[in-house]
Amino acid sequence: MKQTPNETPKKHRGLWWKILLPILILVLLAANFVPLNNWFIEMPGSAEPLAQYVKVDGKRDTAKGSFSLTTVGIAQATAMQLLLSKTRPYEDIVSRNDVMGGEDNATFDRVQQYYMTSAINNAIAVAYKAAHEQYTIHYLGIYVLAVESKSAFAGKLQVGDTITKVNGRHFNASTGYINYIRQHKVGDTVTLTYTRGSKTLTASGKLYRLAQTKKPGIGITLTDRTKVTTKIPVSANVAQIGGPSAGLMFSLQIYDQLTGSKLRQGRHIAGTGEIAPDGTVGQIGGPEKKVYIAAKEGATIFFAPHTKVTKAIKKLDPGFEDNYAVAKKAAEDSHLKITVVPVEKFGDAVKYLQTH
């Protein structure tokens, strides 16, 4: 019997399967396990009880209930995870630049650890002030967050350095350094003294005209670096968690231990929000992800930063969304059994727990 042109011998079909099957397996393995360097999945992270991290007067909190910080998880994406993220609640695809802003991994981690250290310092100050206990804020200097490529100090200063003197002068706030530098002219040479780890170093360079202010400057993005010391000792060690958003919850944990107020009453309480030294609670990222994971891990109360959206705010940032409004909507949309509470100041959270 003759083979027609459209027929393929069975042994040839079997051969094709032997070739295609390993290729398909390799493709599936690659889709599952090979990371895509420029893409990440942002997702609900975890709710971490703070009693495991905080000691006040050498003691841990052993009372029932918990104050928990909440996190947003970030994982390098694979092709399969990109597809699956479309089916999972509150998972978003973000680029490397969205996450790290052009920084390498080590620099990004260093900045995030600084933010957490700063958040804990502010939380200690706020809690001790509210408890009428003694504390002192020590100004260490200017923390370097970024160095502009045009700066004469590019390649000399690094992210994470702390500038302690300019031309031998130390000031007690970044405004002091900025005002001093502005007394000079573009092209003047200044000498910076700075710390890097345990080392003290110096570097000299010329000032140049900053693009935004048109004033002379050294060309860095900066923030104040402080350290808080207290009469009653307090410590907080949060391992690898970074960022500023745990400030409010650290304040509550420290205050409750310091005063013995028993604010929790056995309840599992979570929340988020950056804390300023004056107790103001600032907006953060991912409130919908944080309230979701808080509810899933058993919290019944979630504190969320609240900022009244004014015309002025909308003009400056048309896409601005209040954390409280976003978190409350997420809780309602997902039918979460959790009460979302708006807070503008540290005292708002304390008052809520005292009266509810």
134 Cβ partners below 8 Å, 6+ apart? 128, 230, 231, 232
Give me the active site residues, please: 245, 290
CB atoms within 10 A of CB 198: 5
Phi, psi of 290, deg, nearest 5: -75, -40
Q: How far apart are CA 144 and CA 319, in angstroms?
A: 28
Q: Name the residue among 153, 141, 78 with its Cα closest to residue 114.
A: 141
Please tell me the distance from the alpha carbon of residue 288 to that of residue 43, in angstroms, as a whole number: 10
**Structure token pair of residue 26:** 């390799």
Inter-CA distances, 221 with 142, 149, 229, 230, Å: 10, 12, 27, 30
User: Could you give the C-alpha distances from 31 to 17, 19, 34, in angstroms and in order?
Assistant: 21, 19, 6
Helix (H) or strand (E) run with residue 19 in it:
helix 10-33
Report CA-CA distances (Å) from 80 to 27, 29, 31, 94: 10, 9, 5, 15
Nearest to 274 by CA among 319, 225, 312, 307: 307
Contacts of 192 (CB under 8 A, 6+ apart): 153, 157, 163, 165, 166, 202, 203, 204, 205, 218
